[in-house]
Amino acid sequence: MNAAQWIRSRQEANELQYWFSIVGYEIHDHSWNNRLYLLYVLIFFSSWILMTLIFFANGAKVIFNYLPPLDPIQATIFVVLLLMAMWFNYSLWKSLHSSPVRFSEEDALLLCQTPVNHRDLVIRWFWMPWIKSFAPFLLIALTMGFFIVEISLPGRLTISFLPTYILTGLQTVLIILPIHFGLFILNWLIGILRLQKDKERYWMPRIVMPISVILSTLILVLTISPSLETFLPLGQFTGIEVVSILTVAGNKNLILVWAIGWIFIVILFTGMAKAAQTFNLSRAAQESSVAENIRTARQYGLVSYAENTQNQLWLGMGHKPANQSVFPGASILVWKDIIQSRRIFRLSSLSNWFTIFLLMFSFALLPERYSRAFILSIWVIQISQISVIRLQNDLSRWFIVRQLPIPFKKFLVYDLIKACLFLILSSLLGLWSSSIFFRIPMDGFAIYIPGIVMGNAGITAYDVIRQASSEGLIHEAVPGVSILGVFLSLGLILISYLVDYLLPGLPGALGIMIVSLGFGIASLLLASNAYRNLAQK
Amino acid sequence: MEKIQNPSFTHLSAINLSKKYGSFLALAPISFELKAGDITVLSGPNGSGKTTLLCCLSGLIRPTTGSVTVNGFDLYRDEIEVRRRMIFVPDVPRFYSELTAWEHLYFIAKANEVEQNIDRKAEDLLHKFGLWEAKDLFPHHYSRGMQLKLGLAMAFIRPFDVILLDEPTSALDAEGVDILLDELRFLQQQGKSVLISSHDKNIIQRLGNQRLNIQKGVVEVG
């Protein structure tokens, strides 16, 4: 077990090193300078996260005010529970198809074939995934706490409210923590029970998944219909208690719920440890090593490699031939793009487009310039990532692409056009749905969307090609969107804002369209030039 | 009926071609020509720079010095014209995950504006390389030898004057090697130029009217 302990500690240290390296901290440097820098990083990010979450809580207050007659606190709790139910069901679905205990290829060779204590190994492997899974819920819980302060404290908020914010935030975290922890253990327990000894329980997904979905739905219904609470003791585990604790009943109930929660957790954890004794490690490694490789590749920036491996898993063995294209030459790229998109389509692929839709949906609701600028920034970053997916995929097949007798400008246009069209459509659909749902006029920003999307796609394509090298592309290492690319895209939004500010009305609208398209065309020319020189690097 | 090239016609000309990575000389300056009907064998030990030379010739990597012309077209100034006339088959071909073997052939043929008989040509090639039964599979499920055969089929489905092959026999079975050699001899008769890298002595003896021997980046014309 010492060897397993040592390997896992190294893996955790690597993971930690990765996250610290993002903020520029070198974990192996023990100098005072570096320690002071860590202190600075901790203070900076704590304050930044605090302020951002307060900002989000404020935004949530504005959005939830549009949801009468539902009580805002109840609505928030409903959203948190909805997120938690979605996360749990998705994790459970994954655990029922692939082991929740994930081993790398090295683990499979070095650990899973050796006579280690399975229970100790599983428990040792448990903590890091749990912390990573809890992190987003920690932020959600804090936002929820801040939101409750926002709506319960009267008058203008000042710095003197900061302790109240922090205390309420922590109180909410204390409530969410056992719920998340319990669900996480339950998820692992079910995944471990599926792979026992030398047999796989194929029936489990068919039984467990529907039960989980039904129970989650019931809990969600209970949250918005408190009168039903008495029928099931599950209310203890729902956010209804959170409302009563934070607003009415005080700390007595909090301790009770906590105690009940932790009793459940101890029972579940004991069950998991017992089941782990007969857990089939080899089978788990077989199921999870590819997924683990994909995760590692993604973490180290080999996005195209990770995407290709994931797609290969999804695609299966083969496919009947697609309908033939009638057009020769460059237009065959469209035929290829359609086949590729169709074959790797899954529900999760829609999440990108749905995010774009949601961003524009909420954009129309925001009244003032600064909060709109914030949403626009996220929208721009998102469209940057999506617009070049096909280009990145093609560049990862450098041997094929480089040898096609197709001029690069044409190639680039064919690679970007489909993504641009869908981005424009989903953005416009977001604005339009918002106007229909809330009965407000269609936002004037709609007219700028085509220009900004196309300009942004051009900028991002230039950014990707600018960073690429032929040596890297031969080995499938395709660059992602860089910080410079993000800044250039944000610059486009800033210029659009300036044009709008300086030239209000129709001239401004025309100005923004001309500026965006100008940016797009200039970027395409730059990208074409960068491509010509790419083999030089 | 394919047009047979004049044997004295120079298809590919490399002048003073070299490649450096920082201070490391991967390929010392070399000049040579591939004439119509030439099969040139590029030999040398692992890491001697064979693949670097082929990548420089094909434009996948830009050389530090020198130029490459194909049928008089400069590799970088007239890139599209060169692409129409030259093809490079790497030792480990890569494929689109989402396209089947048959669709890869169709895609390459269409992109190269092959108008007639694509289906028949694809079928013939797949039969010839023993891939017909696996035509609807995704190539990532192929063995390395099968992937190499598909890479060769993708090259042969489109027109070209010069073909560059990087160790094509390294993963092929004996039957595959025979098919490839027959195909190369046919290309020779058609007046095409072939540059093939290999360290298989048998292949070197069976093929080639010109030899390029490469040692630590220095090429000797044999």
pLDDT digits (tens, 9 = 90+) for B74-118: 988 888 999 999 999 998 898 998 999 999 999 999 999 887 888
Give the pLDDT confidence score for residue A229 in this predicted structure: 44
The Cα A413–Cα B117 span in angstroms is 29
Do B96 and A400 make contact, defined as CB atoms within 8 angstroms?
yes
Question: Is the CB of residue A140 less than 8 Å from the CB of residue A50?
Answer: no
Chain A residue nearest residue B79, CA to CA: A405
DSSP one-letter code for A100:
S
Do A339 and B140 make contact, defined as CB atoms within 8 angstroms?
no
Contact list, B98 vs chain A (CB under 8 Å): 311, 315, 339-340, 343-344
Do B103 and A399 make contact, defined as CB atoms within 8 angstroms?
no
Asked if A325 has any chain B CB less than 8 Å from its own CB, the reply is yes
Interface of A with B in 500-529 (CB under 8 A): none
For residue B194, the distance in angstroms to the closest alpha carbon of chain A comes to: 17
Mean pLDDT score of chain B: 87
Asked if B77 has any chain A CB less than 8 Å from its own CB, the reply is no
Question: Is the CB of residue A97 less than 8 Å from the CB of residue A140?
Answer: no
For residue B168, the distance in angstroms to the closest alpha carbon of chain A comes to: 15
Chain A residue nearest residue B22, CA to CA: A537
The Cα B205–Cα A490 span in angstroms is 62
* pLDDT averaged per 10 residues in sequence order, chain A, 537 residues: 82 83 77 83 81 75 63 71 90 90 82 84 92 91 81 67 81 84 93 86 88 86 58 42 45 68 90 92 84 78 77 80 76 90 82 90 81 86 90 91 90 90 94 87 83 89 89 84 87 81 78 80 83 67
Contact list, A349 vs chain B (CB under 8 Å): none
Asked if B111 has any chain A CB less than 8 Å from its own CB, the reply is yes
The Cα A224–Cα B154 span in angstroms is 60
Contact list, B83 vs chain A (CB under 8 Å): 403-405
Q: Which ranges constitute the DSSP H helices of A155-203?
A: 162-194
What's the complex ipTM?
0.89
Give the pLDDT confidence score for residue B5 in this predicted structure: 58
Give the pLDDT confidence score for residue A243 in this predicted structure: 47
Across the interface, of B59, B94, B110, the residue whose CB is closest to A328 is B110
Do B111 and A330 make contact, defined as CB atoms within 8 angstroms?
yes
B180-197 average pLDDT score: 90
The tokens for A188 are: 């692992």
Contact list, A343 vs chain B (CB under 8 Å): 98
Chain B residue nearest residue A312, CA to CA: B97
The tokens for A339 are: 């086949």
Q: How far is CA A7 from CA A13, A105, A188, A291, in A?
A: 10, 13, 21, 19
Which is higher by pLDDT, A19 or B144? B144
Asked if A414 has any chain B CB less than 8 Å from its own CB, the reply is no
Contact list, A397 vs chain B (CB under 8 Å): 94-96
Give the pLDDT confidence score for residue A67 in this predicted structure: 58
Give the pLDDT confidence score for residue A158 in this predicted structure: 67
Do A311 and B141 make contact, defined as CB atoms within 8 angstroms?
no
A373-398 burial, b for 16+ CB within 10 Å, e for fewer? ebbbbebbbbbbbbbbbbbbbbbbbb
Chain B residue nearest residue A475, CA to CA: B94
Most A-contacting residue of B94, B116, B126, B157 (CB-CB within 10 A), to test interface? B94
The tokens for A217 are: 């739905």
Asked if B216 has any chain A CB less than 8 Å from its own CB, the reply is no
Question: A249 Cβ partners below 8 Å, 6+ apart?
Answer: none
Q: Is residue A111 classed as helix, strand or coil in its secondary structure? A: coil
Contact list, A305 vs chain B (CB under 8 Å): none
Across the interface, of A311, A393, A535, the residue whose CB is closest to B61 is A535
pLDDT band at B46 (very low <50, low <70, confident <90, very high): confident
Q: Which helix H or strand E contains B87, and what residues bound it?
A: strand B86-89
Give the pLDDT confidence score for residue A236 in this predicted structure: 45
Q: Tell me whether residue A132 is exposed, middle or buried, using C-beta atoms within 10 angstroms of its C-beta: 0 to 12, 13 to 18, 19 or more.
A: exposed
Asked if B1 has any chain A CB less than 8 Å from its own CB, the reply is no
Give the pLDDT confidence score for residue B160 in this predicted structure: 93
Q: Model confidence over A39-50: pLDDT tens digits?
A: 888 888 888 887
Contact list, B94 vs chain A (CB under 8 Å): 396-400, 476
Asked if B133 has any chain A CB less than 8 Å from its own CB, the reply is no
Do A474 and B60 make contact, defined as CB atoms within 8 angstroms?
yes
* SS3 sequence of A283-302: HHHHHHHHHHHHHHHHHCCC
For residue B24, the distance in angstroms to the closest alpha carbon of chain A comes to: 15
Question: Is the CB of residue B123 less than 8 Å from the CB of residue B132?
Answer: yes
Q: What is the dihedral of CA A289, A295, A298, A303, to 10 degrees?
A: 60
The Cα B212–Cα A456 span in angstroms is 49
Chain B residue nearest residue A322, CA to CA: B103
Q: Is residue B74 classed as helix, strand or coil in its secondary structure? A: strand
Q: What is the dihedral of CA A255, A258, A263, A265, to 10 degrees?
A: -160
Give the pLDDT confidence score for residue A432 in this predicted structure: 92
Pairing mode, if any, of strands B10-21 and B65-70? antiparallel
Asked if A404 has any chain B CB less than 8 Å from its own CB, the reply is yes
Across the interface, of B79, B98, B115, the residue whose CB is closest to A339 is B98
Do A405 and B83 make contact, defined as CB atoms within 8 angstroms?
yes
The Cα A465–Cα A477 span in angstroms is 12
Asked if B62 has any chain A CB less than 8 Å from its own CB, the reply is yes
Question: Is the CB of residue A508 less than 8 Å from the CB of residue A500?
Answer: yes
Q: What is the dihedral of CA A45, A48, A54, A56, to 10 degrees?
A: -90
pLDDT band at B73 (very low <50, low <70, confident <90, very high): very high
Determine the length of chain A: 537
Asked if B141 has any chain A CB less than 8 Å from its own CB, the reply is yes
Interface of A with B in 213-272 (CB under 8 A): none
Which residue, among A402, A535, A395, has the nearest Cα to B63 in the 3D structure? A535
Longest dimension (CA), chain A: 75
Do A532 and B76 make contact, defined as CB atoms within 8 angstroms?
yes
Give the pLDDT confidence score for residue B132 in this predicted structure: 92
